[in-house]
Structure 1
Amino acid sequence: MKTLAERIKVARQHAQLTQKALAHQVGVEQPVISQLETGKNLQSAHLPKIAHVCGVSAIWLSDAIGPMLPGGSLPAANANVTNTAQPDMTFRYPVISWVAAGAWAEAVEPFPPGFSDRYEMSEYDAKGPAFWLEVKGDSMTSPVGQSIAEGTLILVDTEADAQHGKLVIAKLADSNEATFKKLVEDGGRRFLKPLNPAYPTQMCAGDCRIIGVVVRALMKL
């Protein structure tokens, strides 16, 4: 049977999180996670939050009872985190609000405590911190060609290369929220173009900041 320290490490690896990333989401300092994984710290108060963030069973994590995954059949004694199961759904990213996305450019800490209560999976391995947003409105709904409908979940990689033609999340100086548009470069200037021709194109200049590039879209049926 795995020790508590070993189960914590297994849970973190299952969620594809570094010790620092897990610490941010749990609301503790990175050394706390390190101490938990080496058995130097056995504070049970952190275990429910760790289980929630990592997507594992809380009773498995705390007491090694039942399967590692909620509703799963994998016994703790045979837990394997080599990612042989579900290889196409490996990485967990938080779903956040458009206001939180807009504040991303000014955020000192990208994953503060309580950052998100909801996570979605993707096979995409982000280059940097990443998050999901739920599309609002129809400005990116086009009658022809590429179209992103309202309600679609889009995955944003904050360190992907923002190039001409990419769909991006940007923050305009006169708005508290982020905006979702297509990045267009013309004559050395940058513009944010909606896919819906009924909406105007905006210039991305001055305090306009590109927060990240949209790398995946998850349509609701």
Structure 2
Amino acid sequence: MHPSEDIAARIRQLREAQGLSQRALAERCGWSAQSRIGNYESRLRNVSVEDAEILANALGVSTAWLLLGEDFAGTYRPGDRYPLLSWVSAGIWSEAIEPYSLQDVDEWYESETKVLGPAFWLRVEGDSMTAPSGLSIPEGTLVLVDTGRQAVNGSLVIAKLIDANEATFKKLIIDGGIKYLKGLNPTWPMKELDANCRIIGVAVQTMMKLV
């Protein structure tokens, strides 16, 4: 996209390139109203800096590029690098200061997404987050997990299974003060978040490796 195009065009192009509906993007941002995205894309509402930061995180770009279209026009600047963990390693992330040796991690990937706490990548396994329409995160996708971000209704979260000492990736649903974990795949049942499971991070970016 040419950097001279406005933020409305950048939001629309990024959303469509990731196969997201306006509703799916709104949910990824933690917003209940789909019209918010529609108003931004149709230029009926100006995008605040705060909302631009939320949108940029949801779409996997920097806030500066979303607002101004600057990053792709200039010199490449590498982002921070985060380790790719196994599901077991993710499950024990918070059990010790250094539950594993970072020197043993073979794969590291960059990201310009702003994170609020220690972060790591996970490779999605299984089809529980694969949906026939709307937001879908198929097996093999890399997700960047921010352990310092507050999980809200609609967040895609990594939760620790205490008895299995592993992690699970699901959508957080809060209804009547009760928290549930739900797959994007409609065939997967919604389960209440009980004492055997606790949230350890929020997914803030996805990346698909084709080779």
* TM-score normalised by structure 1 residue count: 0.58
**Residue deviations 1:126-146, cap 9 Å, x none?**
211100000001100000111
Determine if the alignment matches structure 1 residue 122 to structure 2 residue 95. Answer: no
Specify which of 188, 191, 203 is matched with residue 199 of structure 1.
188
- Structure-2 residue corresponding to 1:208: 197
Q: In structure 2, what is the Cα distance between the partners aligned to 1:113 and 1:143? A: 37
- Structure-2 residue corresponding to 1:175: 164
Q: In structure 1, what is the Cα distance between the partners aligned to 2:203 and 2:99? A: 17
- Structure-1 residue corresponding to 2:121: 132
Percentage of pairs with the same residue: 55
Aligned residues: 137
User: Structure 1 residues 172, 139: closer, same or farther in 2, change over 3 A?
Assistant: same
Specify which of 53, 68, 83 is matched with residue 94 of structure 1.
83
User: Structure 1 residues 145, 194: closer, same or farther in 2, change over 3 A?
Assistant: same
CA RMSD of aligned residues (A): 1.7
Task: Considering Cα pairs closer than 8 Å and 6+ residues apart, tell me whether 1 or 2 has the greater RCO.
Answer: 2
- What runs of 5+ residues in structure 2 fail to find an aligned partner? 1-73
Larger Rg: 1
Q: Given residue 125 of structure 2, which amino acid in structure 1 is its aligned partner?
A: K
What's the offset of the Cα at 1:113?
A: 4.7
Give the secondary-structure state (helix, strand or coil) at the position aligned to 1:127.
coil
Question: What are the within-5 Å matches in structure 2 for residues 58-69 of structure 1?
Answer: none
Give the secondary-structure state (helix, strand or coil) at the position aligned to 2:94.
helix
- Structure-2 residue corresponding to 1:142: 131
Q: In structure 1, what is the Cα distance between the partners aligned to 2:137 and 2:192? A: 21
Q: In structure 2, what is the Cα distance between the partners aligned to 1:126 and 1:178? A: 20
